[in-house]
Amino acid sequence: MGPNQVTRGTSCFLYWAMALVFSLSLGVNANLNYDYYKSSCPKVESIIYQEISKAYYKDNTVAPGILRLIFHDCFVRGCDASILLAGPNTERAAVQNIGLHGFEAIDAAKAAVEKACPGVVSCADILAYASRDTVKLTRGMGWKVPAGRKDGKVSLASDPPQNLPPATFTSAQLVSNFAAKGLSAKQMVDLSGSHTIGVTHCVQLRDRIFTVIDKTMPKSLLADLQKKCPTQATPTALVIDRYSVNKFDTAYFSNIASGYGLMTSDQDLYRDSKTRPYVVANLKQSTFDKNFANAMVAMTNIGVKLSLHEGEIRKRCQFVN
């Protein structure tokens, strides 16, 4: 081998190694690929964006719905679209998943993709692309989505209770829960920023305004919540970010920094000195945009299935093939 060949070989190796290190620094599984569908379905991202846009402009609650869907999917059996499987004993039937929203938008996106590229794009990848699109539609910053996930074949109602953190979790409990999935305390706080376009319900405040009154809650907020939630069973939807619910901004972090977080899992992020710096950092929009994008890439790599031995490419997201 001549010196030029050695140089070219070394350069190629260094380029590959640097790319791998960069990908791993973002939490990207080295087996996923940003251009996975470049040849097999080149217009996949625009097709999905078009369908998610249609759904969003008909019903803007689709945006927080899809973000919640992907979180509930990835934390149970990994990011394999098992949350999308329908049936009486699937994850969708678990009490933690009551009220999940956005299934129809994902189904529409899948149908459109199947029409263009039959049997090529997994529901797991469609959900990952769609979650990015919901942030863009609510005026947040998007990110490149690595793809190549396969769809899982198992979905059990018994799994969500063992994996999804409740709204009553403290910051320390959330850190532990996310660490079990390979995510850091910083990434946990960054991902909590999705609540800027989210809603919650009266039952999720059971440890702050019902069983025990949280004396740290501002009196005006307590009075307002008690009025809207006379009982835990009141089905009222409560907007977590009360000022710009349809905009992906930093208001969620501003709220908890001023003591106006709704759930324990929100407010304790600022009360805890270990996670407070991450809240403060995300008060800057450009920092939050970058942090959230990187954390989403990391989260959507949890437990991915990469081969047809592990999973499949469903023809319809609600059913295994």
Residue 82 annotated in ligand binding: yes
Catalytic position from the list 72, 101, 201, 309: 72
What lies within 8 Å, CB to CB, of 90 at 6+ separation is 82, 155, 156, 157
| Of 191, 310, 198, residue with least CA distance to 246 | 198
Residue 231 annotated in ligand binding: no
- Given a contact cutoff of 8 angstroms between Cβ atoms, the answer to whether 96 and 117 are in contact is no
Residue 146 annotated in ligand binding: no
Residue 166 annotated in ligand binding: no
Rounded Cα distance between 103 and 188, Å, is: 25
Residue 91 annotated in ligand binding: yes
Residue 131 annotated in ligand binding: no
Residue 211 annotated in ligand binding: no
| Of 213, 252, 58, residue with least CA distance to 137 | 58
User: For the stretch 62-89, what's the b/e string if a residue is b when 16 or more beta carbons lie within 10 angstroms of its beta carbon?
Assistant: bbbbbbbbbbbbbbbbbbbbbbbbeeee
Burial of 58 (0-12, 13-18, 19+ CB in 10 A): exposed
Residue 125 annotated in ligand binding: no
Residue 195 annotated in ligand binding: yes
Q: Catalytic annotation on 72? A: yes
Sign of the four-CA dihedral 291, 102, 175, 262 = positive
Rounded Cα distance between 242 and 223, Å, is: 15
Query: Binding site membership for substrate: which residues?
Result: 165
Query: Binding site membership for heme b: which residues?
Result: 195
Query: Binding site membership for Ca(2+): which residues?
Result: 73, 76, 78, 80, 82, 91, 196, 241, 249
Active site residues: 72
Query: Binding site membership: which residues?
Result: 73, 76, 78, 80, 82, 91, 165, 195-196, 241, 249
